[in-house]
């Protein structure tokens, strides 16, 4: 009887293990410092989404938190305050991280072929000194980068004095 009970118990445990019982838990979030290949960009919307995710990854990697934690933190002023308090990050470090995130997103976009190198260079220059609120707004909605890069560059940095100049022809 003991042998039969043992076989029944082990049989059930083996079945549940085979069905994935030991791994039935929330999906582990990915390390933001690891490269996250872009999905095939299929237009402005898709590219903007991928850009925002790369920016979040880059900033989260700088701060050594998950991308998801940072996304919740920057979604509202209250979330940002709670994040700063909980992780002991000052405003300056948070801003630097968000800018670093934008720079990584430009690198990723360039690598994925969504941004031309000619556009990437001035974008990097702009993102190194972009005000943090505008950086967050760009992460939340990055369509301007792919829709109206000339306007963005001109607005953020006065980079283009001549809207009809060279860059217009080089935007992919």
Q: Applying CB under 8 A, which residues contact another protein?
A: 1-2, 4-6, 8-10, 12-13, 16-17, 19-22, 24-30, 45, 48-49, 52-53, 56, 66-69, 71-72, 75, 140-143
Nearer Cβ to another protein (25/90):
25
CB of 71 to another protein, least distance (A): 6
CB of 131 to another protein, least distance (A): 20
Nearer Cβ to another protein (10/33):
10
Classify residue 43 as left (phi > 0), alpha (psi -120 to 50) or beta.
left
Nearer Cβ to another protein (144/157):
144
CB of 169 to another protein, least distance (A): 29
Q: What angle do CA 67, 95, 59 make, to 5 degrees?
A: 25
CB of 25 to another protein, least distance (A): 4
Sign, Cα dihedral of 156, 157, 159, 160 = positive
CB of 61 to another protein, least distance (A): 15
């Amino acid at each position: 009887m003991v042998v039969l009970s043992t076989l029944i118990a082990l049989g059930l445990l083996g079945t549940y293990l085979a069905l994935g019982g030991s791994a039935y838990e929330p999906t582990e979030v990915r390390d933001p410092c690891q490269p996250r290949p872009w999905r095939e960009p299929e237009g402005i919307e898709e590219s903007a989404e991928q850009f925002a995710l790369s920016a979040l990854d880059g900033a989260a990697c700088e701060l050594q938190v998950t991308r998801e934690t940072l996304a919740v933190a920057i979604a509202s002023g209250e979330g940002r305050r709670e994040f700063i308090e909980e992780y002991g990050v000052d405003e300056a470090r948070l801003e630097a991280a968000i800018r670093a995130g934008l720079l990584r997103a430009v690198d990723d976009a360039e690598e994925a072929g969504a941004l031309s190198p000619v556009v990437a260079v001035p974008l990097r220059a702009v993102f190194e000194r972009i005000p943090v609120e505008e950086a967050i707004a760009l992460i939340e909605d990055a369509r301007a980068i792919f829709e109206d890069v000339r306007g963005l560059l001109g607005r953020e940095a006065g980079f283009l004095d001549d809207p009809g100049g060279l860059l217009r022809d080089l935007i992919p």
